[in-house]
Amino acid sequence: MSGKDNPYKDDRGNKDRSITRPGGGEMDFPKKGGSAKPAPGGPFLAAENMTGGYGAADILHDCTLTVDKGQIAVIVGPNGAGKSTAMKAVFGMLALRGGHVKLDGEDITALSPQDRVAKGMGFVPQTNNVFPSMTVEENLEMGAFLRHDDFARTMDQVYDLFPILKDKRRQAAGELSGGQRQQVAVGRALMTQPKLLMLDEPTAGVSPIVMDELFDRIIEVARTGISILMVEQNARQALEIADRGYVLVQGANRYTDTGQALLADPEVRRTFLGG
Ligand SMILES: Nc1ncnc2c1ncn2[C@@H]1O[C@H](COP(=O)(O)OP(=O)(O)O)[C@@H](O)[C@H]1O
Ligand SMILES: [Mg+2]
């Protein structure tokens, strides 16, 4: 497939954020995924007033996360703040005591993670997000497990987005570098043609160059109309590409604004961005 036909590659490597952000191109690729019913007006993802935890004690307290269509929302905050817990709650891996999750206007709070995938959610967890003994290609095939149609074109699109994965498609994912493994994990999630892609620390343990490269690819995915909800330790760099940023502290929203506004906020800088 040539780059021209690939919705992910309509403007590869373009660093001009003014044209890489809101709205994105409305391509055919993401439209096929998921069956969430559209409800014009609200945010694409509305996870609102989420309260809950793993046992008796709540970790999340009235936590709200929203993402508009084709936009990038980034969650930052200290270790143990509940960022991963919030992602699990959005994905249905945590029973909520309060709040709801709506995708494209449809209340999906009661759905299992698998049913949420069918509705158009893709989730890349923080750990154990590839099958190390399986090849790159087998990992991608696993990602398509819910699909009954021909996913070859989607796999081509993933290989076009991450060309190194095509070169290494017969290699065990466990033999790849950390950055390449993260590409496999993201690629696997894209195989279900999600409308919302959730990434928990996709750049953990990779070099700054690899991080920049991965962020560029994530921007490309968003430009195809897919919404992104991402947790990041590299807070500054992630907020640079964020349409919306959330600072989470002790399971609650502390600051919410555009990425640029959070980066410019002296209080946020001093407390959460190291000055
Ligand atoms: N499976 C679990 N069972 C019980 N407590 C957990 C579990 N996972 C995380 N926690 C606790 O929930 C809190 C938030 O953790 P987490 O969501 O992983 O934070 P973050 O991702 O922001 O670092 C921490 O106090 C952590 O110890
Ligand atoms: Mg975490």
* Residue for token pair 């407390």: 271
Report which protein residue has its CA nearest ligand 1's atom 25. 80
Q: Does residue 94 have its Cβ closer than 6 Å to ligand 1?
A: no
Confidence bin at 52 (pLDDT 50/70/90)? very high
Where residue 62 falls (left for φ over 0; alpha for ψ -120 to 50; beta otherwise) is left
Both structure tokens of 48:
């609102």
- Report how far ligand 2's centroid is from the alpha carbon of 226 (Å): 23
Any idea what DSSP says for residue 4?
A: G
Nearest to 83 by CA among 274, 258, 248, 229: 248
Compute the average pLDDT of residues 216-237: 97
Nearest ligand, CA 204: 2
Compute the average pLDDT of residues 231-237: 96
Asked whether residue 240 carries a pLDDT value surpassing 50, the answer given is yes
Count Cα neighbours of 236 within 13 Å in the Cβ-side half-sphere. Answer: 8
74: CB partners within 8 A, 6+ apart: 230, 231, 232, 235, 238, 239, 241, 242, 244, 245, 246, 259
Confidence bin at 42 (pLDDT 50/70/90)? confident
Question: Can you spell out the DSSP letters for 104-133?
Answer: TTEE-TT--HHHHHHHTEEEE-SSS-S-TT
Report which protein residue has its CA nearest ligand 1's atom 26. 80
* CATH hierarchy code of domain 3-269: 3.40.50.300
- Report how far ligand 1's centroid is from the alpha carbon of 49 (Å): 18
pLDDT at site 217: 97
Question: Can you spell out the DSSP letters for 189-245?
Answer: HHTT--SEEEEESTTTT--HHHHHHHHHHHHHHHHTT-EEEEE-SSHHHHHHT-SEE
Give 254-265 pLDDT, tens digit per residue. 999 999 999 999
Confidence bin at 148 (pLDDT 50/70/90)? confident
Give 83-128 pLDDT, tens digit per residue. 999 999 999 999 899 999 999 999 999 999 999 999 999 999 999 9
% residues pLDDT > 90 (the chain): 80
Burial of 13 (0-12, 13-18, 19+ CB in 10 A): exposed
Cα separation, 58 vs 37, in Å, equals: 31
Confidence bin at 224 (pLDDT 50/70/90)? very high
Confidence bin at 24 (pLDDT 50/70/90)? very low
Asked whether residue 60 carries a pLDDT value surpassing 90, the answer given is yes
Confidence bin at 13 (pLDDT 50/70/90)? very low
Rg (CA), the chain: 18
pLDDT at site 4: 52
**Atom number in ligand 1 closest to CA 200:** 21
Cα separation, 201 vs 234, in Å, equals: 9
Cα separation, 131 vs 134, in Å, equals: 6
Confidence bin at 7 (pLDDT 50/70/90)? low
Asked whether residue 27 carries a pLDDT value surpassing 50, the answer given is no
